Structure 1
């Protein structure tokens, strides 16, 4: 490249980049060039600063406009939230009014003058954090919650103690309270409940003062005992009763502090306190029982025979924890609900709700739910079944009206207990009494179980939560119909449970007409017999014990006024049988003897293969049984109220005969062979009352000295509640509110005769295919043959007699 040309281009470029000089100056000083450069730089910086200020001004203006819009949006959201809250509170208040009206409770108190949802709460005097923590601990409240500020803690304290929060008087008694206590001379209460506000507030102060005094004296008396007495079992039990009573009174104190105690509870409480202050302690106890009748989840005190006892009452011989599970309701109170799992068809629960008052959830009907569907869903609600008059009176704590067979529509109409929400499971695939899709065939129930089992593990979802709550489960009892589709459903359940609990004792009570009612149409009767035979084969194989129970007893005494067409009467008779026979499984162990399901089972099923047992029982008036004279016992036997005992030719006592036999009905078949005398292998008996029964026999000597017999005696009689048919038992005077029951489960050759009779009927039926009929008949024959093994039945016919 030419060097001269390159230098010329560089010099020309330098001249073009140099600042213009004055026209009259050919040359510029270095200082002038520097001054011009600095001036140009300052002008450039000023222009940049001006542009930046303009941008900041525009940004600030945009932020202020955005803040104003955000404030408008917040205000709009606040108004919408306030309106939504106001509407929700109005709907909740209206729902509460309807609930109180339905239960017969007084209406909600009117709002105070000037009280409004939007009125801000006035600021109160502040409390130091250390003092505030101490006050919360005195109220047995959490001192500090996670993430809670001092202002939130102060607000929680104000809400706990009421409107006069910072000026409230706190006591240091057994139950700290904000109610100002009155002197002992002013504690005497009047039976009349004041209506004015001042009078009610003073009444609450009187009650709080009296309960505080009683608890303090109780605690001081226990503290003055010697150390040996305090450390003894009775001493610890007495102290535990005091602590339990104190904890049970805390919710009452909270209600009185907020002046929210209903008259339905306040009046009985005042009655109890008034009677106690006048030293009428029996009347005070009666008032407590009357209060418990309307508010408890079971009929405590109705018959003065209760399985639920509380200190200082004597302990019940029945351990109610076996069949009832403890829980906590939404308000924090203790509850007891049955350990049960109930399946029924759609509409069969009647007016009973899945979630009862003990676990009633908050109303979430107004909560907006967002989903993929843009439009608002249309909800179709079926007309609810109105509750019976009996249930409405129970809910209101009133004396229920008498029931009759015509007024009882569903089993829930006479139910007196609350159930856990997980205990009630509705099978929505079928509706009760549906003519188009009847739930009658055995295969329908089996197919329904298989379908639901494929969708969800029923044992894991429904049964396992109850099983895991038990410390030591002794067995499971199943009550199911066997002459309809419920037999197929229960068969699927049993096979599934045997896979899960292989060695667990499972008793199955097979209920139903079992094809014995001749008034039933022939086609339906044959269908019932087929269902019964299928259930008999599967349930007898999978169950530890299978007890068939007919709706109509094959043997019925004159004192039994029974209507087999009424499910209410049928359920009552079966309840007496089932509850009395299984009473030993719930008794507390005495003399090292415990009547578990397995122990009863081993008595009449020593081989492990005779799983079908027949049930029988006798009913008596306990006053008649208490008579010891033989003449009076003979009169009672004529009235049909005691068991009769047979005596053998050698003079030895044999097993008693029961008055009521609910095993199965006799199928009308022509006898092909001479009827043989019944041979008994074993029996387990339970007596409630002073029955004249013999001694137990050793199960190991059954072949040498007759059948094995195990007897249990329960001191509690069977109470006839107002939900029980009053005229079903006419024993003794006919006015007894408690009855004595003598029940027993027996394995004998009569079981084989009945099974063979069913097998003969099935063999002649053409409703079942040939292959299924052969399989079914072979299975029934195998069951019957187990009752012939081990004894010679050929020489025990009636002809030999």
Structure 2
């Protein structure tokens, strides 16, 4: 009778218990020992299984390698047989052609060139289009030009490699080149540059081989890093440096291939490589500096060029890396371009080109994309704006002529700087001379910013590449018009920047007439007042410091002859004030007189809410000023047309000759209050008389009375450029430098200005935005009354 399920299970359980029971009667086994024995048996079984699996995989890999080796051998054999068959067929064809020519009495067949494998090269040998495209891309050439046929593309490739056949070899290195690289043992170069052509050609091959080896080893070293190091900030910087070095060497490789490297550059390059090969890296670096400074052009403006120093001159106290970014031109020379981003309307850049002589390609090749249109394109170009005589002489290396107001059409007519192509952004939606679509209303600029921001992230596209180049940023400075559509454009930008960089110092310089220019029609003046008020509301809220500057200052000294209708004169005067007051933030860290933007903010904006400051300055001849203050102060104040230094008896603050604040719209009040100063930052260039008792109080001392005052001395005078107008009569003759005293002040004058604008705006703006705008202006004005003004008309607090 078959065993039922219950009996079978009882028997199996009994057998299992028998196995687990001790072999000797009376002895006991722990459950842990039984579990350990079971685990050991399991691990042994798994080990056997794993060894068997690995053995199977190894046998499979060996079999696949043997099969691949046989297949590769078969392919090579087929290729050799094909070559032999082709060679035999060509020999038979050549022999038949010779017999035919001999029979007909024709000239003998010319000898054909042979490849390394023995096959002949046809006169018009062709290749597949895909292979031709790959070879062109390896040479950094456009793969396909618009309307180009395969034959034309093949001819362009032959011309590029400068050989008659297609048997030229392009090295597969970090920088592909047609130069035949030499072995490592032949890379050691001699310090003396050969004069013969063969010697120079071999030297070019040596240089290309050495740079290829260095770049390849650099890439390998970076690739061997751990993933954590690669993704770190320093790891990304190291990779970026390698890529930048590789791209900077490409123009040198092109010149080496063409044999067009000038001896003035070749000799320093040989000196650098020779020192590096002997591991004298300090000497190699010195050679590079001599090449960059002594032989290559240094394309910077005259203003900052006066702050640049070259060995063996002593180091300048100004750190030019703060406002200028280093770069390398396509020809390998070092460049310094401003860290700036400039927006302007169509045709507002004048004759300035976006891609200048530093960055334009050295050849005239096309960079067009392929298309499907079979015919030739029709290109329509607008008439280029001719260069001024000043710019023409600068490009030709000649001494520029003296500028006059009639010579200035655009701001680029007197600019001496080269800009990076990313720095110049043209807003093509509006033309600078368009009267139908004028760029004058505040909403037009705001709507344009919102439109472009929806299409592309302007911060990521335009600003972030400059920001990522900076090791540490003090802040950003914005220069914008505020009484036209540029106020709306800047307001949109500022709100975006404040979202991106919440705690960064952002100084905004608001330029405009503010409705104070009586030469402008009344309707336009009223529109300017509305634009200025709306700009004031946004810029004063989101800026760390907002400095309004009038294009027509209402207080000018007698020694300044200024044409207020010329923006060239206005820009020159404003640049003196801006350059002087911000100069302490550009001094080197080792200089004890340095004052950062944030340090200056804390002085005149101690509460953090008084962000609007007014700017003023005084100008003098440094020689006359030094002589003047070497005598008694009382006698010195009588000298000629020089500015006199008057100080207030109460707060001991110096007065300024030039008030660049916006036009003062006086309010009709029963009794004008005395101006109260909360804080001031002053910057001095020259030997100005600084009274010790006028040092003010420490801005961090909240219990001390008197205005917070910080004085910073700049060790350099302001250089008068040849692009500056002749409007300063501060000395007996023509002076090349100016002594400048400039300052930023927060005082109750700001409140009076804002309240007067508020009263005017109430009668101009529409009802739906009047309340919000006027409330904002009223809140801004109250910040300059809080803490000292009780609301009475008396000079002292109740």
Task: Give the structure-1-normalised TM-score.
Answer: 0.67
2:789 aligned partner? 792
2:299 alignment partner, one of 297, 300, 311: 297
- Return the alpha-carbon distance in structure 2 between the equivalents of residues 647 and 251 of structure 1: 53
Cα contact 1:584–1:594 (8 A) shared by 2: yes
- CA positional deviation for 1:438: 0.3
Cα contact 1:415–1:723 (8 A) shared by 2: yes
Task: State the SS of the aligned residue for 1:721.
Answer: coil
- CA positional deviation for 1:245: 4.4
In 2 relative to 1, CA 70–161 (structure 1 residues): closer, same or farther, beyond 3 Å?
closer
1:189 aligned partner? none
Cα contact 2:679–2:745 (8 A) shared by 1: yes
Task: State the SS of the aligned residue for 1:325.
Answer: strand
In 2 relative to 1, CA 173–414 (structure 1 residues): closer, same or farther, beyond 3 Å?
closer
- Return the alpha-carbon distance in structure 2 between the equivalents of residues 755 and 576 of structure 1: 26
Query: Which residues in structure 2 correspond to 1:313-712 (within 5 Å)?
Result: 313-363=313-363, 366=366, 369-590=369-590, 592=592, 594-627=594-627, 628-630=629-631, 634-635=635-636, 639-648=640-649, 654-667=652-665, 669=666, 671-695=668-692, 696=695, 697-701=697-701, 704-712=704-712
2:777 alignment partner, one of 751, 775, 780: 780
- Are 1:770 and 2:767 an aligned pair? yes
In 2 relative to 1, CA 637–560 (structure 1 residues): closer, same or farther, beyond 3 Å?
farther
Cα contact 2:181–2:209 (8 A) shared by 1: no
Tell me whether 785-794 or 368-377 shows the greater mean CA deviation. Answer: 368-377
2:287 aligned partner? 246
- Return the alpha-carbon distance in structure 2 between the equivalents of residues 735 and 634 of structure 1: 24
In 2 relative to 1, CA 118–722 (structure 1 residues): closer, same or farther, beyond 3 Å?
farther
In 2 relative to 1, CA 655–640 (structure 1 residues): closer, same or farther, beyond 3 Å?
farther
- Return the alpha-carbon distance in structure 1 between the equivalents of residues 683 and 786 of structure 2: 27
Query: Which residues in structure 2 correspond to 1:143-154 (within 5 Å)?
Result: 143=210, 145=212
- CA positional deviation for 1:332: 1.3
- CA positional deviation for 1:456: 0.1
- CA positional deviation for 1:397: 0.9
- CA positional deviation for 1:641: 2.7
- Return the alpha-carbon distance in structure 2 between the equivalents of residues 243 and 73 of structure 1: 46
Cα contact 1:481–1:510 (8 A) shared by 2: yes
- CA positional deviation for 1:119: 11
Cα contact 2:751–2:784 (8 A) shared by 1: yes
Cα contact 1:133–1:143 (8 A) shared by 2: yes
| Per-residue Cα deviation, 1:7-27 (whole angstroms, up to 9, x for no partner) | xxxxxxxxxxxxxxxxxxxxx
- Return the alpha-carbon distance in structure 1 between the equivalents of residues 594 and 400 of structure 2: 38
- CA positional deviation for 1:379: 1.2
- Return the alpha-carbon distance in structure 2 between the equivalents of residues 127 and 487 of structure 1: 59
In 2 relative to 1, CA 315–405 (structure 1 residues): closer, same or farther, beyond 3 Å?
same
- Return the alpha-carbon distance in structure 2 between the equivalents of residues 711 and 799 of structure 1: 27
- CA positional deviation for 1:590: 4.7
Task: State the SS of the aligned residue for 2:537.
Answer: helix
- CA positional deviation for 1:604: 0.3
Query: Which residues in structure 2 correspond to 1:674-753 (within 5 Å)?
Result: 674-695=671-692, 696=695, 697-701=697-701, 704-725=704-725, 727-753=726-752
Cα contact 1:137–1:143 (8 A) shared by 2: no
Task: State the SS of the aligned residue for 1:644.
Answer: coil
Tell me whether 307-316 or 485-494 shows the greater mean CA deviation. Answer: 307-316
List runs of 5+ in structure 2 lacking aligned partners.
Answer: 1-84, 95-118, 129-148, 169-179, 190-202, 216-251
- Return the alpha-carbon distance in structure 2 between the equivalents of residues 445 and 682 of structure 1: 34
- CA positional deviation for 1:678: 0.2
In 2 relative to 1, CA 88–707 (structure 1 residues): closer, same or farther, beyond 3 Å?
same
In 2 relative to 1, CA 161–534 (structure 1 residues): closer, same or farther, beyond 3 Å?
closer
1:34 aligned partner? none
| Per-residue Cα deviation, 1:268-325 (whole angstroms, up to 9, x for no partner) | xxxxxxxxxxxxxxxxxxxx8xx99xx431256x99x721112221011110010011
1:74 aligned partner? 126
Task: State the SS of the aligned residue for 2:507.
Answer: strand
Tell me whether 768-777 or 705-714 shows the greater mean CA deviation. Answer: 768-777
Task: State the SS of the aligned residue for 2:358.
Answer: helix
Task: Give the structure-2-normalised TM-score.
Answer: 0.67
Cα contact 1:674–1:799 (8 A) shared by 2: no
List runs of 5+ in structure 1 lacking aligned partners.
Answer: 1-55, 90-115, 149-155, 178-210, 224-238, 253-287
Aligned residues: 597
Cα contact 2:158–2:165 (8 A) shared by 1: no
CA RMSD of aligned residues (A): 4.3
